Amino acid sequence: MQQVDAIIDKYYRDNEPLRHILVMHSRSVAQKALDVASRHPELGVDIRFVEEAAMLHDIGICLTDAPGIQCFGHEPYICHGLLGAELLRSEGLPRHARVAERHTGTGLTVATIRRQHLPLPERDFSPETIEEQIICYADKFFSKTHLDREKTPEQVLRSLERFGEDGIERMRAWMERFG
């Protein structure tokens, strides 16, 4: 975890309020993901990787414009996963980068990107590996504006409505599998 802490410090040393939000949110996500992994040993999850990747999945938020959570960058917030993936690849962490770029919603498909005219490359950003899926699932239960509470399954499903019915169905399947 020293490498994780060093990466967070590298990109967040000049914005302590945002660093606090990132770390608190990411710890919640990591704990939920680790809980899922511990309850499902049959999945063969790489525990160390899940903890590291959960802590780094939102590393790109510092480059986005989301003043409500202390982000004063220039890019649209929807791009934070892709931006984070670029940072993580530059740090030599391509596997972690895949988690970052595939955690928005329940993953973004080419159809969703086109339908919503999102400022993202027209590629499939759906989680594929079990670790990517578990982190994406866990992330949906925690916001960056209410760090002290976990969303209910109903709140999670409502929050996914903007991404389309396929995202809701994917989350329902994960809830059944991981919940």
DSSP code, position 77? G
Task: Return mean pLDDT, the chain.
Answer: 96
Q: Which residues lie across from 66 on neighbouring strands?
A: 71
pLDDT, tens digit, 9 for 90 and up, residues 135-168: 999 999 999 999 999 999 999 999 998 877 889 9
- The reported pTM is 0.96
Residue 21 has pLDDT above 80, yes or no: yes
- Please give the helix or strand (H or E) that residue 126 lies within, else none: none
Domains along the chain with CATH numbers: 2-178 (1.10.3210)
